[in-house]
């Protein structure tokens, strides 16, 4: 990490909005990508990413190690995305109580798109998948972030990938 | 052991492509504006809220007495404020054991230099005026993280001009000035 980057991160921690903007510019795309994969919904992902940056702004002064800023931001983003999903699920469940029952399901010949396949995974699984394949973290980094061993991360990823392949009809 | 890539590379590519779908909507300015609108319970804001009135008294006293007057030696003993208020102030006594450089800017001169260096905050109240070694004021975990690269034993003034009159946010500048020669090392424009 360069001295300049350190300087910018320190300024962001101290409340410098310009420095914070440079962090958003640097990490914003990864945050949005991760949220998109977890939410499997573009507009909800934008909401989650926005919430994440708000939380980051409020809490960034608590980050002691500058080197852990990126994983910290991604963790904040993943948590915000999962929280938004939970809120939306509750809202959706309440809506269904008053909605008419619609019979049906997928058409027999329907192509199961990636979005549908991703929706069959748990949000936590999509989070792991995103950390590995979207923002490029390895199992050691992921394990450190979510508090499990690298072997545990690899085992879970193996199961998730197998499930995804199966859902996609490639398994 | 390396990470197993037991997923079809084509699926990995599809996942990446899928996650890219919202990128065209990424708006840096909107994101930053919305995020930083939130009130931040930072050290800066806390200090600003707590210290504003009291420091104005200190600055006022220094101005009324002599602008060349008590450089940071304004302590509870020569203040009209109750002693219990002082520990929360950002106007620090001189660090124990630290030798004050001879000469140097008074608090009034440092504040004037800060106002001149941060024109966008020139009209704002002074909420912090501290002098001491840069290593103590700037580099500590609770420090201002300004003027990186300054020698730790270089004496500086840190002056914060901050407007906390708005209920949910404030803005201002942190100015770092050489204690001896008045050189301005850094001006940080902050919101909190």
pLDDT in tens, B24-78: 777 888 888 888 776 654 445 444 443 433 333 333 333 333 332 222 222 222 2
Among the partner residues B4, B20, B44, nearest to A15 by beta-carbon distance: B44
pLDDT in tens, B165-189: 665 566 788 899 999 899 998 888 8
Please report the pLDDT score of residue A37 as a whole number.
Answer: 93
d(CA B6, CA B9): 9
Among the partner residues A10, A18, A42, nearest to B22 by beta-carbon distance: A42
Q: In chain B, what residues touch A24 (CB-CB under 8 Å)?
A: 28, 31-32, 35
Question: What pTM did the predictor assign?
Answer: 0.60
The answer to whether B113 and B154 have CB atoms below 8 angstroms apart is no
DSSP sequence for chain B: -PPP--S-HHHHHHHHHHHTTTGGG--HHHHHHHHHTS----HHHHHHHHHHHHHHHHHHHHHHH-TTS-TTT--GGG-SS-GGGGGG-S-PPPPTTPPPPSS---HHHHHHHHHHH-GGGTTSPEEEEEEEEHHHHTSSTTS---STT--TT-EEEEEEEEE--SSS--EEEEEEEETTT--EEEEEEEE-
The band of B2, judged by pLDDT with boundaries at 50, 70 and 90, is: low
Among the partner residues B16, B23, B188, nearest to A133 by beta-carbon distance: B16
A89 in helix, strand or coil? Answer: helix
Whether B40 sits inside 8 A of A58 (CB atoms) is yes
Report ipTM (2 d.p.).
Answer: 0.81
Whether A133 sits inside 8 A of B146 (CB atoms) is no
């Amino acid at each position: 990490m360069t001295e300049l980057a350190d300087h910018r991160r320190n300024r962001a921690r101290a409340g410098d909005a310009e420095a914070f903007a440079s962090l958003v510019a640097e990490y914003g795309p990864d945050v949005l990508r991760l949220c998109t994969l977890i939410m499997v919904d573009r507009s909800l992902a934008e909401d989650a990413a926005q919430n994440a940056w708000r939380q980051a702004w409020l809490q960034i002064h608590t980050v002691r190690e500058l080197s852990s800023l990126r994983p910290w931001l991604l963790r904040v983003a993943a948590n915000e995305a999962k929280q938004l999903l939970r809120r939306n699920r509750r809202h959706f469940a309440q809506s269904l109580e008053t909605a008419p029952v619609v019979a049906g399901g997928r058409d027999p010949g329907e192509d199961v798109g990636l979005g549908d396949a991703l929706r069959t995974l748990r949000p936590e699984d999509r989070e792991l998948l995103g950390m590995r394949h979207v923002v490029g973290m390895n199992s050691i980094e992921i394990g450190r972030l979510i508090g499990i061993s690298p072997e545990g991360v690899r085992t879970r990823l193996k199961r998730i990938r197998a499930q995804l392949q199966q859902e996609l009809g490639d398994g | 052991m390396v990470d197993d890539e037991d997923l079809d590379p084509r699926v990995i590519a599809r996942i990446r492509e899928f996650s890219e779908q919202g990128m065209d909507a990424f708006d840096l300015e909107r994101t930053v504006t919305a995020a930083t609108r939130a009130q931040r319970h930072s050290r800066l804001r806390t200090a600003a809220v707590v210290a504003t009135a009291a420091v104005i008294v200190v600055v006022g006293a220094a101005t009324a007495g002599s602008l060349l007057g008590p450089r940071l030696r304004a302590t509870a003993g020569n203040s009209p404020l109750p002693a219990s208020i002082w520990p929360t102030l950002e106007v620090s006594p001189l660090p124990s054991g630290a030798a004050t450089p001879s000469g140097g800017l008074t608090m009034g001169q440092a504040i004037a230099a800060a106002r001149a260096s941060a024109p966008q905050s020139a009209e704002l109240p002074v909420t912090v005026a501290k002098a001491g070694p840069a290593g103590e004021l700037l580099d500590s975990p609770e420090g201002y993280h300004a003027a990186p690269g300054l020698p730790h034993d270089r004496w500086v003034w840190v002056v914060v001009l901050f407007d906390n009159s708005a209920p949910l946010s404030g803005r201002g500048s942190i100015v770092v000035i050489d204690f001896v020669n008045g050189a301005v090392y850094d001006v940080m424009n902050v919101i909190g």
